Amino acid sequence: MLWQEWPQQGLDAMGKLVADIIVETLQNAGVKHCYGIVGDTLNLIARSLEKSEIEWVSVRHEEAGAFAAQAEAQVADRLTAVAGSCGPGSLHFINGLFEANRNRAPVILIASQIIRDELGFDFIQEVDFKQVYSDCSVFCDMIHTPAQARRKTVIACQTALARRGVAVLIVPADISASVVDDSIPYAVHVARPVTRPNDADLAEIAEILNKSENVVLYGGSGCQGAHQEILAVADKLKAPIAHTSRAKDFLEFDNPYNIGMTGMLGNEAGYHALLDCDALLMLGADFAWRQFYPDKAKIVQVDIDPTHLGRRHPVTKGVVGDVKATMASLLPLLVERTDASFRSAYVKRYAKYRESERAKVAAGHDGSIPGSYLTKVISQHAAKDALFTADDGTPAAWAYRHIEMNGQRRIFASLLHGTMANGMPGGIGLQKAEPGRQVVCLAGDGGISMLFGDLMTVVAQELPIKIAVYDNGKLGFVEIEQKAEGMLDTFTKLKNPNFAGVARALGLWGETVSSADQLETAVKDWLAQPGPALLHVHVNPMQLVMPPFMQVEPAIGMALYSTRAILHGRGGDVWEMVKENFL
């Protein structure tokens, strides 16, 4: 029976509208916001959402809604919803849902679908969401009958929360409009067990570590909430602590043993410590770049996900556990050391690197503004508990190198999916989740323009987010990659508008800054705005992101690029590059 056919009296006795059942289940599972764009097949669910306590957030592009939802899910650690119309509407979420799933963010997509009678006949807007979304979800299924509605919505929510990822619930429009007996109390259960390796495994790990001379701890995003336990282990083993970029939020602050990151964004202390140690204790780290792992050291890996063990590099011993609980259980088994010379050497090396970086990160030649310097100034003036987002490209690289952490700040960048345009839309979700906190988005000129329309969402939702556009007039990161491969820059140029003017036209505060002597005042003004504000910064287009070491290939690549550029009459570009990066 469809809802329109119902007699108005005695509704409760006959059952419930499926759309209401779905929305009620989402609400009970803790959903506070649903991001999306309405459309025919979603209309009844929209009607139910409107009656519920869940707040609907209209976006201009569904992808932005998915970026926002996954940022909210991460910062608030709660299930967050997105919903779309059939076909293109629900298809548009895809890139943001890949981002969500890779970030282990519990997000549910209500993908409304054409009516069941038409499925399988290439009906207008028919898309097989099960096929499309199976690769970026932990749950992907359709509600096949009205009677399944509550049970399947429950299991979708529960899977997203328990397995930490995306659930896609496909809902044909005729199912939403059905009325069904709803007397069986299926409900979402979220278990948060404490997991640690068994005693024999712990003893084995302790033996490996106790027998090794120079131990390095290497922490990843699994270290969230385990600061104290990790430091206690490092203290006993006299081990320095290196970390992945995703663990910067959790391990950089109040950590006298910190030696920063390895990898392309890292520094030479983190990089060499990992290669020079005898034993590496990897904690909740699934760092993907194999060339940064040691070949001779014994590696112990602790991860909550068994599929991560040894998948990047062979390990001596892999165990499953929460970092916090595992470190607490391991601590009494470790032999206290007295010789801290290995650790001190790397801590000193890191301090030296930081000092020289600090000195280097300054206004450019001729008063230009390097992106690194802009980031440092933003870090100096942003709130103590600011939430940052950064677009893939140079803004993310500068954020991980130059935003100073303190245990309250967080950075959200697309480190695993590596997508452009995540920054500003992610800021929408962070500000919806944390209305009282300062949200600062570091955007590329390429990145911001990709989902530019959702600046209108920022205005419509009255979100006071602060957006800095790093305008280098190009797809800068790609251009650096091309140069490192010895190519001339190819298809990277961007013809940009005055972003501040566009922002003002859309209803944001907007200013442009081009010279370093005006930067600090401009950043302070921008951050002090009560409402949404966009600072358009002309950054130095020639700045390179330098790795912690110079590999042979990029060095040859840069030389080849320089030769080609000179041969093409572009010696000026080469001079600019050399001047801004090496002099």
Spatial CA neighbour of 67 closest among 471, 430, 468, 455: 430
Stretch of residues binding Mg ion (CB under 5 A), selected from 71-79, 239-247, 320-328, 468-476: 468-476
The reply to whether 444 sits near ligand TPP by the rule CB under 6 A is yes
The reply to whether 464 sits near ligand TPP by the rule CB under 6 A is no
Give the interface size with ligand TPP as a residue count (CB under 6 A). 19
Tell me whether strands 410-413 and 387-390 are parallel, antiparallel or unpaired: parallel
> Residue 232 or 478: which CB sits closer to ligand TPP?
478
The reply to whether 541 sits near Mg ion by the rule CB under 5 A is no
Judged by CB under 6 A, which of 470, 499, 509, 561 binds ligand TPP? 470
Stretch of residues binding ligand TPP (CB under 6 A), selected from 31-39, 117-125, 152-160, 466-474: 466-474
Give me the least distance between CB of 545 and ligand TPP, in Å please: 8
The reply to whether 65 sits near Mg ion by the rule CB under 5 A is no
> Residue 59 or 167: which CB sits closer to ligand TPP?
59
> Residue 39 or 393: which CB sits closer to ligand TPP?
393
CB of 331 within 8 A of CB of 237?
no
Inter-residue long-range contacts of 230-234, CB under 8 Å, 24+ positions, other chains counted: 230/283, 230/323, 230/327, 231/255, 231/257, 232/327, 232/331, 233/281, 233/327, 233/330, 233/331, 233/334, 234/343
How many Å is the maximal CA-CA distance in the chain?
Answer: 84
Give me the least distance between CB of 433 and Mg ion, in Å please: 28
What CA–CA distance (Å, rounded) separates 285 from 222?
7
The reply to whether 447 sits near Mg ion by the rule CB under 5 A is no
The reply to whether 402 sits near ligand TPP by the rule CB under 6 A is no
What CA–CA distance (Å, rounded) separates 160 from 177?
25
Q: Which helix (H) or strand (E) holds 82?
A: strand 80-84
CB of 536 within 8 A of CB of 513?
yes
Chosen from Mg ion, ligand TPP, none, partner binding at 217 (C-beta under 5 to 8 Å by type) = none
The reply to whether 400 sits near ligand TPP by the rule CB under 6 A is no
Chosen from ligand TPP, Mg ion, none, partner binding at 420 (C-beta under 5 to 8 Å by type) = ligand TPP
Inter-residue long-range contacts of 337-346, CB under 8 Å, 24+ positions, other chains counted: 337/236, 337/237, 337/238, 338/238, 339/238, 340/238, 342/213, 342/214, 342/238, 342/239, 342/240, 342/277, 343/234, 343/238, 343/239, 343/240, 343/257, 346/216, 346/240, 346/259, 346/269, 346/272, 346/273
Stretch of residues binding ligand TPP (CB under 6 A), selected from 113-121, 135-143, 355-363, 473-481: 473-481
> Residue 239 or 420: which CB sits closer to ligand TPP?
420
- CB burial readout 309-329, b (16+ within 10 A) else e: beebbebebbbbbbbbbbbbb
Chosen from ligand TPP, Mg ion, none, partner binding at 236 (C-beta under 5 to 8 Å by type) = none
Backbone angles phi, psi at 140, to 5 degrees: -155, 105
Chosen from ligand TPP, Mg ion, none, partner binding at 80 (C-beta under 5 to 8 Å by type) = none
Chosen from Mg ion, ligand TPP, none, partner binding at 425 (C-beta under 5 to 8 Å by type) = none
The reply to whether 394 sits near ligand TPP by the rule CB under 6 A is yes
Q: How many residues does the chain have?
A: 583
Chosen from ligand TPP, Mg ion, none, partner binding at 478 (C-beta under 5 to 8 Å by type) = ligand TPP
Judged by CB under 6 A, which of 478, 488, 546, 560 binds ligand TPP? 478
Say whether 285 sits in a helix, a strand or coil: coil
The reply to whether 392 sits near ligand TPP by the rule CB under 6 A is yes
Chosen from Mg ion, ligand TPP, none, partner binding at 391 (C-beta under 5 to 8 Å by type) = ligand TPP
Spatial CA neighbour of 126 closest among 141, 135, 116, 136: 116
Spatial CA neighbour of 427 closest among 74, 81, 32: 74
Spatial CA neighbour of 234 closest among 336, 310, 303, 81: 336
What CA–CA distance (Å, rounded) separates 113 from 40?
10
What CA–CA distance (Å, rounded) separates 195 from 217?
20
Stretch of residues binding ligand TPP (CB under 6 A), selected from 45-53, 206-214, 390-398, 568-576: 390-398
Judged by CB under 5 A, which of 65, 294, 476, 554 binds Mg ion? 476
Stretch of residues binding ligand TPP (CB under 6 A), selected from 55-63, 148-156, 186-194, 471-479: 471-479
Contacts of 161 (CB under 8 A, 6+ apart): 29, 79, 106, 188, 190
> Contact letters (x/-) for ligand TPP, 342-381, by CB under 6 A?
----------------------------------------
Give burial (CB, 10 Å; 0-12/13-18/19+) of 495. Answer: exposed
Stretch of residues binding Mg ion (CB under 5 A), selected from 13-21, 182-190, 346-354, 440-448: 440-448
Give me the least distance between CB of 537 and ligand TPP, in Å please: 11
Number of C-beta neighbours around residue 157 at 10 A = 27
CB of 96 within 8 A of CB of 64?
yes
Spatial CA neighbour of 388 closest among 505, 492, 468: 468
Judged by CB under 5 A, which of 172, 260, 318, 444 binds Mg ion? 444
Window 421 to 440, contacts with ligand TPP (CB under 6 A): none
Spatial CA neighbour of 108 closest among 38, 172, 155: 155
> Residue 68 or 160: which CB sits closer to ligand TPP?
68
Judged by CB under 6 A, which of 420, 439, 440, 516 binds ligand TPP? 420
Give me the least distance between CB of 377 and ligand TPP, in Å please: 16
Contacts of 145 (CB under 8 A, 6+ apart): 175
> Residue 172 or 476: which CB sits closer to Mg ion?
476
Judged by CB under 6 A, which of 62, 63, 445, 489 binds ligand TPP? 445
The reply to whether 447 sits near ligand TPP by the rule CB under 6 A is yes
> Residue 395 or 425: which CB sits closer to ligand TPP?
395
CB of 179 within 8 A of CB of 17?
yes
> Residue 197 or 395: which CB sits closer to ligand TPP?
395
Judged by CB under 6 A, which of 20, 141, 268, 391 binds ligand TPP? 391
Binding site for ligand TPP (CB under 6 A): 391-395, 418-420, 444-447, 470, 472, 474-478
Binding site for Mg ion (CB under 5 A): 444-446, 472, 476
